[in-house]
Amino acid sequence: MVKKFLIAFFCVVAHGIFAQNGTVSPYSYFGIGDLRNSGTVENQMMGGISMYGDSIHISLRNPAAYSKLRLTTYTVGLSHTELRLKDFSQEQNTSFTNLDYLSIGFPIAKNLGLGFGLMPFSSVGYNLTDEIEGDPTITNAFAGEGGLNRIYLSLGYEIIKNLSVGATVNFNFGTLEYQRIQSVENVQFGTLDRRESRINGYDFNYSLNYTPTIKDKYTLYTSVMVNTQGNLVSENSERIGSFSLVNGQEIEVIDVDLDAVNLRNTELKIPTRTTIGLGFGENKKWFLGGEYSFQQFSDFRNDFLGIENVNYKDASSFAFGGYFVPEYTSLSSYFKRITYRAGIRYDVTGIEVNNKEINDFGITFGLGLPLGNSFSNLNLGFELGRRGTTDQNLIEESYLKFNVGLSLNDRWFEKRKIN
């Protein structure tokens, strides 16, 4: 009965991933939108590091960690973000709520685990207005929405003691919509340009974990994760025309012949991202680790949009975090069984707008709350961060993010014993 309820719940919740608008950031105008954090709440609250794996939690970014699973695990994550947007003269507050991931993982043989699920991959959502002072004044209004979703299948196997390998295949799909409207002071008609990209394609994740035991008590965690180049195919369309500023009625809107300029079908290549991790800890007690990622994002291009004020540079990120459990077997104190997590991260996004780098800094902390006497747990997290700058007429984003993750455990594929 519990299994049926959980499966039904996951099916209903999955609909929310496809229906949501995952960002209101002006920086989602660039690239393929805001790339979403693909880690679970447990990973995000340790600065986003994903090298650590255990027998009851899923690691969405590290497929080799599935080899550690000993119980079937269902996991779902939600987030709510309070966002402040500020430029050199004014600021604005807004907020949005997202369903971040939906996943199931389970052991299928000794030291062999499998997982699958779905999550957002990127999000576009912005409304910008740019006034060019003069006689007359020209106003450009930009808007965008949509995003890409991801369905994945992962497999992890411990080939020899303490050495695990894993692989994930991701299928990415979705639609991105962009609109630009231009109006001129005291002119009755304005012009519009609407563009749409229907995108799909595959990429693959590979990981290698080596976790030797030291002095029968401690564990050294080392990992290498490679997210191979994503080759996405974009089917594009564009409509241009004019409209009345009085009643908004469109006039002479036509479809652009993109075949004539070889832009009907274009390729978007997301460059390979490599992550190296190193950590140390005592099992079920404490863990500290750090990760460094690098990506040759300078190879990225989006010929269809043709944005002039952006350059793509090589991207990198640093993350450091860990957890602490006072006494996970304590019967006298619930608080001693709580997992306390914290971390810090710094991302060089690889996006340069008006010759200014757009970087992202965040501090994370959270709690893992045991549910009853089972291995299931409720994970709460908080993140304080800042992205962008007010220099060069850009926008600085300050955000407070609340995360809620549910990790439920069950036993599948066990032979029943009859006395």
Domains of the chain plus CATH, in order, are: 2-376+399-410 (2.40.160.60)
For residue 156, the one-letter residue type is: G
311-329 pLDDT tens trace: 999 999 999 999 999 998 8
Cα gap 128→300, rounded to integer Å: 24
- Element of type H or E holding 7: helix 2-19
pLDDT at 411: 63
CB of 220 closer than 8 Å to CB of 238: no
Other Cβ atoms closer than 10 A to 230: 20
Give the per-residue pLDDT at 89. 81
**Regions of the chain with pLDDT less than 50:** 1-6, 8-10, 12, 14-16, 413, 415-419
Count of residues making up the chain: 419
Torsion-angle region of residue 396: left (phi > 0), alpha (psi -120 to 50) or beta? beta
On the CB side of 163, how many CA atoms lie within 13 Å of its CA?
2
Q: Rounded to an integer, what distance in angstroms lies between the CA atom of residue 288 and that of residue 342?
A: 10
Cα 74 to Cα 56: distance, rounded to the nearest angstrom: 10
Which of 321, 318, 53 has the alpha carbon at shortest distance from 165? 53
The CA distance from 272 to 32, in Å, is: 15
For 267, other C-beta atoms within 10 Å of its C-beta total 12
Contact indicator for 253, 234 with CB cutoff of 8 Å: no
Per the CB < 8 A criterion, the answer to whether 126 and 143 are in contact is yes
Count of beta carbons in the 10 Å neighbourhood of residue 22: 27
d(CA 16, CA 344) in angstroms, rounded, equals 29
Locate the DSSP E strands across 11-160. Answer: 34-35, 72-86, 91-109, 112-132, 138-160
Query: How far is Cα 243 from Cα 181, in angstroms, rounded to an integer?
Result: 9
Q: What are phi and psi of 89, to 5 degrees?
A: -125, -20
DSSP label of 158: E
